[in-house]
Chains A and B, each alone.
Chain A
Amino acid sequence: MPIFPTLFPGTLWQTNVTVIATIFLTGLIVFVVLRVGLRRMDMRRPRGLQNFIEWAAEFTTNMARETTPTEQTTNFVLPLAFVMLLFLFVANWLGLIATVTVHFNPNIHIWGLTPSDLANSKGDVELFDSPTSNMSMALGLAVMVWIISHARGLRHPKQWLKHFYSPSPLAVIEEITNPLTHGMRLYGNIFAGEALLSIMLRAPFAFHWLPWQLPLIVVWLLYSCFIASIQAYVFTILMCLYVGNKSFEGHANH
């Protein structure tokens, strides 16, 4: 069980610093890529990276359009969906590209970790990982989407109240299961991929020289890359869907 540098240890506000740092790093990567791609933004002759960014924007727009009832909702959710898609794509790939672990003598107090924590993880402290392979972070994103969707639903309070019992009162259960599965799905997929990778990487060679796990690692790495991309897409499309479901501005489908 890896451990992380921790802020406010032992309190309610105990915070994983690696996750927060990698969130900002991911944001920085996305921001820099976008700014570089749009450096010489040209309406008439898009080229190079601008083409890719426009394709991503187009892709997100189509996705939002298909999952939301009105053009108004599409425009509302579009910036969030665009940023979320790129953010999660980069975030999910981070841990596949590299993880950084430092080893400490498990007798010291450092970065908010006690010697017993260090002893539990054999002195390994992870400094770099996918932020989405942290359950709290993935659930945080899901709950944020949940709050945004309800905030939008509350623009029409009567319909918002009605939708809890109107088709069936079971909809209330969805209010708990939706954000939970939304976040856990992302966390589970990314965490599983990275966990298996790290286990295989740490496994000893057969007869001390035969790297039997190498082909497995390659296969699993490719599969994890695929899963990382798919999960970014799935999380984003579900976000559009949840926000769209709570938008009650008439269901004039376009």
Chain B
Amino acid sequence: MGSVFQFGTFIFSIISFLIVFLIIQRFAFKPLAKMLEQRRKHVESQIADAEKSREEAASLLAEQRKLLEEARKEAKNLLDAARVRADEQAREILQRAEEEASRILEQNRAAIVRERDEALAAVTNRVAELSVELTAKLLHNHVSPELHKEMVDEAEKRLGELVC
């Protein structure tokens, strides 16, 4: 009888299958489909997020690289400037030191000259006096004070000419 067409079996099979289908669809397939859809969306959004953050990271990296480059350049500039200034300063200091040294040398030389002159003058005076005294002693007080003075002057003058 399975191979004879029965209208009742035919109709009730369709109805039974539809009932079964509706129940399975409502209580088993729908939650599954919902979950799959949810997962699809989740994965999609995750991929989009990942792409976005990768782009962001790349742009950040580029920016950082640029900043680093700039900083390096700036440091180099600063260093160069500092070096130039230091060189200048060193030169200036050196120059000033040389000037100071030469000034001190000059001063000292002048002082030496002056002292020598002074010493010479003192020595000349002393020698003149001694010579006059000696002469006076030799001449046994035959010399007036006027003459004495004149002779001292004379002696000093001669001595000065002699020395210089």
The residues of A with any CB-CB pair to B shorter than 8 Å are 1-4, 6-8, 11-16, 19-20, 23-24, 26-27, 30-31, 34-35, 38, 41, 43, 53-54, 57, 78-80, 82-84, 87, 117, 129, 131, 133-137, 139-141, 143-144, 191
The residues of B with any CB-CB pair to A shorter than 8 Å are 1-14, 16-21, 23-25, 27-33, 35-36, 38-39, 42
- Please tell me if the beta carbons of A141 and B17 are within 8 angstroms of each other in the complex: yes
Rounded to whole angstroms, the CA-CA distance of A1 and B12 in the bound complex is: 22
- Please tell me if the beta carbons of A23 and B20 are within 8 angstroms of each other in the complex: yes
Rounded to whole angstroms, the CA-CA distance of A13 and B15 in the bound complex is: 13
Give 17 A-B contacts (CB < 8 Å), ordered by A residue.
Answer: A13-B11, A19-B13, A26-B20, A27-B19, A27-B21, A27-B24, A34-B28, A38-B35, A53-B32, A79-B21, A87-B17, A134-B9, A137-B13, A140-B13, A141-B13, A144-B14, A191-B3
How many pairs, one residue from A and one from B, have CB atoms within 8 Å of each other in the complex? 138
- Please tell me if the beta carbons of B14 and A143 are within 8 angstroms of each other in the complex: yes
The verdict on A83 contacting B25 (CB below 8 Å), with A136-B10, A139-B5, A144-B17 known, is yes
Chain B residues with Cβ below 8 Å from A135 are 2-5
Of the candidates A30, A57, A140, the one having the most CB atoms from chain B within 10 angstroms of its own CB is A140
The verdict on A31 contacting B1 (CB below 8 Å), with A14-B6, A140-B10 known, is no
Rounded to whole angstroms, the CA-CA distance of A144 and B13 in the bound complex is: 10
Q: How far is the CB of B158 from chain A (nearest CB, A)?
A: 127
- Please tell me if the beta carbons of A14 and B35 are within 8 angstroms of each other in the complex: no
Residue from A15, A30, A54, A57 in contact with B9 in the complex, judged by beta carbons closer than 8 Å: A15
The verdict on A31 contacting B9 (CB below 8 Å), with A38-B28, A134-B2, A141-B14 known, is no
Extra contacts, 4 of them, besides A24-B20, A27-B20, A140-B11 (Cβ < 8 A), are A14-B7, A27-B21, A34-B32, A136-B7
Chain B residues with Cβ below 8 Å from A12 are 7-8
Q: How far is the CB of A16 from chain B (nearest CB, A)?
A: 4
The verdict on A16 contacting B29 (CB below 8 Å), with A43-B35, A43-B38 known, is no
Q: How far is the CB of B134 from chain A (nearest CB, A)?
A: 131
The verdict on A4 contacting B13 (CB below 8 Å), with A41-B32, A82-B29, A87-B20 known, is no
Chain B residues with Cβ below 8 Å from A87 are 17, 20-21, 24
Chain B residues with Cβ below 8 Å from A54 are 32, 36
Q: How far is the CB of B12 from chain A (nearest CB, A)?
A: 5
Of the candidates B13, B18, B36, the one having the most CB atoms from chain A within 10 angstroms of its own CB is B13
Rounded to whole angstroms, the CA-CA distance of A83 and B4 in the bound complex is: 27
Residue from A2, A23, A34, A133 in contact with B17 in the complex, judged by beta carbons closer than 8 Å: A23
Rounded to whole angstroms, the CA-CA distance of A19 and B14 in the bound complex is: 11
- Please tell me if the beta carbons of A131 and B4 are within 8 angstroms of each other in the complex: no
Chain A residues with Cβ below 8 Å from B35 are 38, 41, 43
- Please tell me if the beta carbons of B6 and A41 are within 8 angstroms of each other in the complex: no
- Please tell me if the beta carbons of B20 and A133 are within 8 angstroms of each other in the complex: no
- Please tell me if the beta carbons of A4 and B2 are within 8 angstroms of each other in the complex: yes
Rounded to whole angstroms, the CA-CA distance of A163 and B20 in the bound complex is: 32
5 closest Cβ pairs, A-B complex: A27-B20, A15-B8, A34-B28, A136-B9, A140-B13
Q: How far is the CB of B33 from chain A (nearest CB, A)?
A: 7
The verdict on A20 contacting B14 (CB below 8 Å), with A31-B27, A41-B35 known, is no
Residue from A16, A30, A43, A133 in contact with B24 in the complex, judged by beta carbons closer than 8 Å: A30
Q: Which residue of chain B is the closest to A126 with respect to CB atoms?
A: B2
- Please tell me if the beta carbons of A79 and B16 are within 8 angstroms of each other in the complex: no
Q: Which residue of chain B is the closest to A34 with respect to CB atoms?
A: B28
Residue from B16, B30, B33 in contact with A23 in the complex, judged by beta carbons closer than 8 Å: B16
Q: How far is the CB of B39 from chain A (nearest CB, A)?
A: 5
Residue from A7, A11, A129, A139 in contact with B10 in the complex, judged by beta carbons closer than 8 Å: A139
- Please tell me if the beta carbons of A16 and B6 are within 8 angstroms of each other in the complex: yes
Chain A residues with Cβ below 8 Å from B29 are 34, 79, 82-83
- Please tell me if the beta carbons of B13 and A38 are within 8 angstroms of each other in the complex: no
- Please tell me if the beta carbons of B16 and A31 are within 8 angstroms of each other in the complex: no
